Amino acid sequence: MRYFAMLSLLAAALFGSACSGYANTVDGDVYVPQSNGPNPQNLPNANTVPKPTPPGGYTVSPTPVVIQEVLVDPVGPNAGQQFVELFNSSNSPVDIGGWVVTDGFNSHTFAYGFQLNPGACVTLRLGVAGTDSTTEQFVPSFGELQAVGSMVLLRHGTELVDFVEWGASNQNFEGTADQLGEWTAGDFVPLPAEGLSFHYDGQANNSTAWLEANATPGQ
């Protein structure tokens, strides 16, 4: 009996010693990862890494989504059919949910989760009602565009990423666009002839990149 008890005590001691040793080993191996300064993963500096070349013709905007066409025709043959068109010049879909298109008086905010497909356009029909889709949005509350004005695209409703003004300089958002290099203060696109819209060719951030032509919404 004493022999069995001693064996039991010896087994308990060995077992306790083994568990204790294992626990101590684990305690010694487990630790909270320590930060190595502001860049613990040693990631490259985003400001020094070469950027890929965007698709040809659209190299000047901080986003691949740009204002591509605007029809301003308050009294001409397209009166009541004014529109603004955005284009995704990239090869990937872009979520523009929460982005805002505004002339400083009226605005349209895209629904959260709205996706603009690669190489696709979305046309904002201003001042008219209709059924919204991924390629066409109706904004009945948007007032008529005037012969002198501007249009801006705001990422997340706050960050100016594209701009155009027509008819005269010093329109809404011109100063901000100039500071960001998205426009040149004092520059503007001449108002196209009645029935024509102005189109962006993607070559510059000034009026030379805007050409008048027939309206082509959705193309």
Mean pLDDT confidence for 23-27:
40
- Checking if the pLDDT of 122 tops 50, the result is yes
Sequence-separated (6 or more) residues with CB below 8 Å from residue 126? 82, 83, 84, 106, 139, 142, 143, 144, 145
Two tokens, residue 184: 């040149």
Q: What is the pLDDT of residue 19?
A: 36
Q: What separation, in Å, do the N-terminal and C-terminal C-alpha atoms of the chain show?
A: 97
Whether pLDDT at 91 is above 70:
yes
* pLDDT for position 80: 74
pLDDT per residue as tens digits for the range 124-158: 999 999 999 999 999 999 998 999 999 999 999 99
This prediction has a pTM of 0.72
Higher pLDDT among residues 109 and 61, named by residue: 109
pLDDT tens figures, 162-215: 999 999 999 999 999 999 999 999 999 999 988 899 999 999 999 999 999 999
pLDDT value of residue 194: 85
Give the chain's domains with CATH numbers. 65-214 (2.60.40.1260)
> 113 and 93 in contact (C-beta within 8 Å)?
no
Asked if pLDDT for residue 50 goes beyond 80, the answer is no
The neighbour count for residue 152, using CB atoms within 10 Å, is 25
Is 178 strand, coil or helix?
helix
* Gap between the Cα atoms of 180 and 100, Å rounded: 18
Q: How many other CB atoms are found less than 10 A from the CB of residue 93?
A: 12
39, two tokens: 């860049």
Share of the chain above pLDDT 70, in %: 70
Whether the Cβ atoms of residue 104 and residue 175 lie closer than 8 Å to each other: no
Cβ(103)–Cβ(145) below 8 Å:
yes
> Which tokens sit at 53?
């070349």
Strand 196-200 and strand 210-214: the pairing is antiparallel
The pLDDT of residue 34 is 43
DSSP 8-class letter at 218: T
